[in-house]
């Protein structure tokens, strides 16, 4: 069965879709059979995947955008035929977010280094706890000045919350690649952003059972 990762954060604008696409394309570039499921009603990844069809640099990647009663069956089916399944979830604690979190081996919570994201994260972690899943935080859009990152990181340590050591910087390469339906490892494989993507994917993979 696949390693299922749900990217979840109740606050809108945290970069969930970009993180999910980055993670999926990075695993695909490493030779994994990857499925990406968009369960967010905004369907940002559905548009991203449509753009992807035009690029010769895109690695093979399965994609669906199920919702409602179709979601559990889609996750189960994709998990049978792939090595990794990445789920992009709605920004609110609705039924689809709960279903995705319940199906996940790991819940990855993007967190921008800001108090607003820190407060919103609490509701996400509460939902993860209710479903008895594992969660880990990943800092996203971190500015080059690391002072704010260090302040947030210290607060997470104080709360004994799990944080990935690697994270994503506030780099235009992520947005540029996303606009083309790609991940940074496909659009600019030798860049700093691609190095960050590979580091995060490797850290996420350590949570895989067995």
pLDDT tens digits along 126-177: 999 999 999 999 999 988 776 777 787 788 888 888 899 899 999 999 999 9
Written as six digits, the tokens of 171 are 């780099």
**Whole-number pLDDT of residue 13:** 77
Domain-located, residue 112: yes
Which strands form 84-88's sheet, in the order they lie side by side? 62-64, 34-38, 84-88, 3-7, 106-111, 135-139
Average pLDDT over residues 20-45: 96
Q: How many domains does the chain have?
A: 1
Asked whether the predicted pLDDT for residue 25 surpasses 90, the reply is yes
Determine the Cα–Cα distance for residues 166 and 30; give it in Å rounded to an integer: 18
Most confident among 7-16, 41-50, 144-153 (mean pLDDT): 41-50
CB atoms under 10 Å from CB of 205, counted, come to: 17
Asked whether the predicted pLDDT for residue 53 surpasses 80, the reply is: yes
Residue 152 lies in a domain: yes
pLDDT at 146: 66
Question: The whole model's pTM is what?
Answer: 0.94
Q: Would 210 be classed as within a structural domain?
A: no
| HEC-encoded secondary structure of the chain | CCEEEEECCCCCCCCHHHHHHHHHHHHHHCCCCEEEEECCCCCHHHHHHHHHCCCCCCCCCEEECCCCCHHHHHHHHHHHHCCEEEEECCCCCCHHHHHHHHHCCEEEEEECCCHHHHHHHHHHHHHHHHCCCCEEEEECCECCCCHHHHHHHHHHHHCCCCECCCCCECCHHHHHHHHCCCCHHHHCCCCHHHHHHHHHHHHHHCCCCC
* Res. 12 pLDDT band, cuts 50 70 90: confident
Check residue 96 and give its pLDDT: 87
In a domain, 39, yes or no: yes
Residue 62, beta-bridge partner list: 35
- Measured CA to CA in angstroms, residue 9 lies from 46, 80, 87, 188 at distances of 19, 26, 12, 27
Structure tokens at 195: 């190095």
Determine the structural domain holding residue 164 and report its residue range: 3-204
Whichever domain contains 166, its CATH number is: 3.40.50.300
The confidence band for 30, taking pLDDT boundaries of 50, 70 and 90, is very high
pLDDT in tens, 65-123: 998 889 999 999 999 999 999 999 988 767 888 999 999 999 999 998 887 888 888 88
Structure tokens at 155: 């607060």
Q: What is the mean pLDDT of residues 51-73?
A: 93
Task: Output the pLDDT for position 28.
Answer: 98
Residue 209 lies in a domain: no
In a domain, 65, yes or no: yes
Q: Does the structure show a pLDDT above 60 at 10?
A: yes
What is the pLDDT, as a whole number, of residue 188? Answer: 97
Answer whether residue 187 is part of any domain. Answer: yes
pLDDT at 152: 79
Using alpha carbons, select from 201, 190, 134, 191 the residue that is nearest to residue 166: 201
């Amino acid at each position: 069965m696949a390693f299922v990762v749900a990217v979840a954060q109740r606050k809108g604008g945290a970069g969930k879709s970009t993180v999910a696409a980055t993670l999926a394309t990075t695993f695909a570039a490493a030779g994994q059979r990857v499925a990406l499921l968009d369960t967010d009603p905004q369907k940002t990844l559905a548009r991203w995947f449509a753009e992807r069809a035009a690029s010769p640099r895109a690695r093979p990647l399965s994609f669906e955008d199920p919702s409602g009663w179709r979601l559990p069956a889609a996750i189960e089916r994709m998990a049978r035929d792939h090595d990794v399944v990445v789920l992009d979830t709605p920004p609110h604690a609705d039924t689809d977010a709960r279903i995705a979190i319940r199906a996940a081996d790991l819940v990855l919570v993007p967190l921008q280094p800001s108090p607003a994201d820190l407060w919103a994260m609490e509701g996400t972690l509460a939902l993860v706890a209710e479903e008895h899943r594992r969660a880990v935080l990943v800092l996203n859009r971190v500015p080059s000045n690391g002072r704010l990152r260090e302040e947030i990181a210290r607060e997470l340590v104080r709360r004994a919350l799990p944080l990935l050591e690697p994270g994503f910087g506030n780099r235009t390469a992520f947005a540029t690649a996303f606009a083309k339906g790609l991940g940074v490892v496909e659009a600019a494989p030798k860049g700093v952003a691609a190095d960050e993507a590979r580091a995060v994917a490797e850290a996420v993979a350590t949570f895989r059972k067995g």
